[in-house]
Amino acid sequence: MSTNRIKHKVNHVSLVVDKSGSMQPHASQLVRVVDEFVKGLQEESDRLGHETRISLYAFDHEVQNLVWDMDVKHLPSLKGLYQVNNGATALIEAAVKSLDDLKNIWEGYGEHSFLQVLVTDGEENASGCSSSGQMHARMSAGKGSAVLREWTDRIKDAMDGLPDHWTSAILVPNSLAKRTAQGYGFPAGNIAIWDADSSKGVEEAIGTVKAAATGFLRGREQGVRGTRNLFAMGQDLDAAQVTANLEALDTGKYTLIPVDQATAIRDFVTSSGLAWQTGCAFYELSKREKIQSRKQLAVAEKDPATGRMTGRVFSGPAARQLLGLPQSEVTVQPGANPSYTVFVQSTSVNRKLVPGTKLLVLI
């Protein structure tokens, strides 16, 4: 007798948050960032019918599990769980422990995927020092350097050994910490910078993590179980989504112009023989950018075989939601999509265009 089985997608998410002494001024901001990330997972899991389970870790010089593999719908606010201590930062030890613990989850049935996200405002200085009580001194001394090298090797090995359906990502405070995280083995597309010292930076971080949550789960619908571009935008777009949610622009009402020099956007439009009007031009998203809430978006179709644009362009009010962006300013970086390129409306007259890209101009 044949038996029908429900085939379902199961996502295991591990959030690893810094509670060291330096987080004291940022505690409420971190709670907001994490709560919004969880909210994004909850909403998108409901919409897609995924089972998403979440584990929560907090660390200073010691690593503590607060929640283990709980249905994301039942996770309360981090506010009731999170408390900053005066310890140091065992960042590597926390990352490695979280990954090691996730390996205990059985994957016999269902289609499982694993996502680890770390949030910190500092850099490693205490892994392996939980028993000594002299975290900083030990790490800065000769013996401490040897301990740090040992743990650095451990996280590199852990990252190198991740299966394709595992993703590890991190939010760090600055570009120096980003380079350090890359040295540990985090892919560049899975590292985002958050400015915990400003309300604007926190709002950007919220937008970044919500977009990441949405993009990760939507990617699962396309068969993507792991990614090296978690914080990139547009990589999960497909033809069904684009044609169902966006409008194809009339080919007589726009043009795509190759950019051959770093020229101010208004000068480039007028030198191409076109009339300039604020908002008529959309630049190709080719690097990390801030996108304000009022900016319109468009996507241009490409031939996956050649990478050349076909000339078809789609836009509409749903573009922002389709790309997983919140209705607020957000910093994004472009994802690699073989079929679509994202364009962002410019309201500036002096924006320097990037040679080798294209400019979309509405006529």
Ranges of each domain in the chain: 9-230, 239-362
Q: How far apart are CA 94 and CA 14, in angstroms?
A: 11
Percent of the residues in the chain that have a pLDDT greater than 70, as a whole number: 94
Q: How far apart are CA 295 and CA 286, in angstroms?
A: 16
Whether 141 has a pLDDT exceeding 70, the answer reads: no
Whether 131 has a pLDDT exceeding 70, the answer reads: no
Whether 251 has a pLDDT exceeding 70, the answer reads: yes
Query: Which has the minimum average pLDDT: 175-189, 240-254, 291-305, 328-342?
Result: 328-342
Whether 1 has a pLDDT exceeding 80, the answer reads: no
The burial of 6, by beta-carbon neighbours within 10 Å (0-12 exposed, 13-18 middle, 19 or more buried), is given as exposed
Are the CB atoms for 222 and 330 separated by under 8 Å? no
Whether 269 has a pLDDT exceeding 50, the answer reads: yes
**201-238 as b/e: b if 16+ CB within 10 A:** bbbbbbbbbbbbbbbbbbbbbeebbbbebbbbbbbbbe
Q: pLDDT, tens digit, for every residue of 162-175?
A: 999 999 999 999 88
pLDDT at 133: 47
Paired strand residues for 17: 58, 119
At the fourth CATH level, the homologous superfamily of domain 9-230 is von Willebrand factor, type A domain (3.40.50.410)
Q: pLDDT, tens digit, for every residue of 14-43?
A: 999 999 999 999 899 999 999 999 999 999
pLDDT at 276: 95
Q: pLDDT, tens digit, for every residue of 51-98?
A: 999 999 999 999 999 999 999 999 989 998 999 988 889 999 999 999
